[in-house]
Amino acid sequence: MIWTNGNQVDLLESGAAYFPAILAAIGAAKQEVHLQAYIFADDETGRAVSGALIAAARRGVVVRVLVDGFGSRDLNPALVAEMEAAGVEWMVFRAEQFQLSLRRHRLRRMHRKIAVVDGELAFIGGINIIDDMDTPNQIPPRFDFAVQVQGRVVEQITRDVRRLWAFIGWTHGRVVRRRRTQWAAQPVKVGNDKVAYLVRDNLRHRRDIEDAYLSAIASATRQVVIANAYFLPGRRFRHALMTAAQRNVQVVLLLQGRVEYGLLHYATRAWYGELLAAGVEICEYHHGFLHAKVAVIDGHWATVGSSNIDPFSLLLAREANVLVESTRFADELYVALQAAMLRGGRWIKVEGWRKRAWYQRILPNAAMLLVRGLMGLVGYGQKW
């Protein structure tokens, strides 16, 4: 992990802040735009983004879009064709071919949400290219975060997105030629935030994001606040949280209270008793659709990105997070999480959890057994 000084990181809460910022950046692009997304939807938001990408390509900007073959499997081919006709370069990561396959490679998705513009401005977070108000069976909008990053770390992010584009191009049998760019070779200091850019892949960076979480939790002295949409931690992660709570660190988890994916929802609850007994505080978000993947530790360390704390994100998917050392940024994120808990949080109390009826205990335990069985089928059962 490489920390970089001289950055400015700005928090973007949900699509209301994220999409105007990214559309403005694409609209001002002069040389190069890279966009990587798990979901790219053909809705009002998707068409606004595609329109900005088309306009950029038509004025001579190199525009490259990489989407996941599972997350974007329902995207209208006509929208893709329209972008490609305008000069937008488009690739799909692991296009879906066999819907019923449970092979490990099918679960290795490209779950990152990144945009980089002109090697000077980057966006990273959990927000897909989809209408925030489109939340079936949930109260809109999605509650999520991204960051806008300027400064020296953007050079590292730019190299990474170019590298992944070239690698996927190679797997598709395409020759990706390096385009000349005119921006300064030396990255410019624009702020005082210390930032590390982390990815999770199946090569050299298998556990970088998880290890960063574990290191920060282990060094916490006062408070750990984690908001995560799909929370199904492995043994190491659960142990780290419980150990922190037992040394009098306040550990707070903000988790999804509404049922989106039944199996993951109930499997998550299988660990509530163990965590609560160790002193971990759990707040379920019921106001709407929680999609955040963020954390704040001790008022100075924060992370925002695409990685959930579940076996799919931490063991299988390609993810990207930023770590930020900044009291200013950590305070802003903490205030946003506190507001969410006040707006739509329901606290799980240890006594009430212990007194659940027997039939309320069966579903979480059964769901956990099923998840472990599925992980075993793809070769990861012993690691979780």
Question: Residue 368's domain is classified under what CATH number?
Answer: 3.30.870.10
- 357 and 219 in one domain? yes
Specify the residue for token string 């950590």: 330
Which of 172, 193, 214 lies at the terminal end of a domain, its last residue?
Answer: 193
Q: Residue 97 pLDDT > 70, yes or no?
A: no
Name the nearest CA neighbour of 181 among 21, 64, 9.
64
Q: Which of 34, 42, 68, 118 is catalytic?
A: 118
One domain, residues 109 and 96? yes
pLDDT band at 382 (very low <50, low <70, confident <90, very high): low
Q: What is the pLDDT of residue 212?
A: 97
Per the annotation, the verdict on 118 as an active-site residue is: yes
| CA–CA dist 68, 71 (Å, integer) | 5
Rounded CA gap, 226 and 247, in Å?
A: 18
Does the predicted TM-score (pTM) go above 0.85?
Answer: yes
Question: To the nearest whole percent, how much of the chain has pLDDT over 90?
Answer: 76
Mean per-residue pLDDT, 140-159: 96
Q: Give the least confident one: 124-138, 207-221, 336-350.
A: 124-138
Residue type, 94: R
Catalytic status, residue 300: no
Instruction: State the residue range of the domain holding 157.
Output: 3-193
Q: Report d(CA 226, CA 303) in Å as an integer.
A: 9
- Name residue 199's beta-bridge partners: 320
Catalytic residue among 34, 42, 68, 113: 113
Report the half-sphere exposure of 123 (CA within 13 A, side-chain side). 28
Please tell me whether residues 167 and 302 are part of one structural domain: no
- pLDDT computed for residue 179 by the predictor: 59
Mark whether 286 is an active-site residue: no
Average pLDDT, rounded, for the chain: 92
For 259-294, how does the pLDDT look when each residue is reduced to its tens digit (9 = 90+)? Answer: 888 898 999 999 999 999 999 999 999 999 999 999
Q: Which of 68, 265, 291, 310 is catalytic?
A: 291
State residue 359's pLDDT score. 80
pLDDT band at 100 (very low <50, low <70, confident <90, very high): very low
Local structure of 223: helix, strand or coil: strand
The reply to whether 113 belongs to the active site is yes
| Mean pLDDT, range 55-65, rounded to an integer | 98
Same domain, 66 and 161: yes
Radius of gyration of the chain from its Cα atoms, rounded to whole angstroms: 21
At 175 the pLDDT is 67
Q: Are 344 and 288 in contact (CB under 8 A)?
A: yes
C-alpha span between 285 and 358 (Å, rounded)? 24
- Is 208 annotated in the active site? no
Least confident range from 45-49, 63-67, 359-363: namely: 359-363
The CA-CA-CA angle for residues 21, 22, 24, to 5°, reads 65
Q: Residue 188: its pLDDT value, please?
A: 77
Q: Among 101-105, 123-127, 188-192, whose mean pLDDT is lowest?
A: 101-105
Higher pLDDT pick, 341 / 258: 341
Active site residue 189: no
Choosing from 166, 193, 220, the residue where a domain stops is: 193
Catalytic position from the list 10, 298, 300, 331: 298
> Could you tell me if 49 and 185 lie in one domain?
yes
Catalytic residue chosen out of the listed positions 34, 111, 194, 265? 111
Can you tell me which residue has the tokens 């049922």? 259
Instruction: Judge if 83 and 39 occupy the same domain.
Output: yes
Q: What is the pLDDT of residue 220?
A: 98
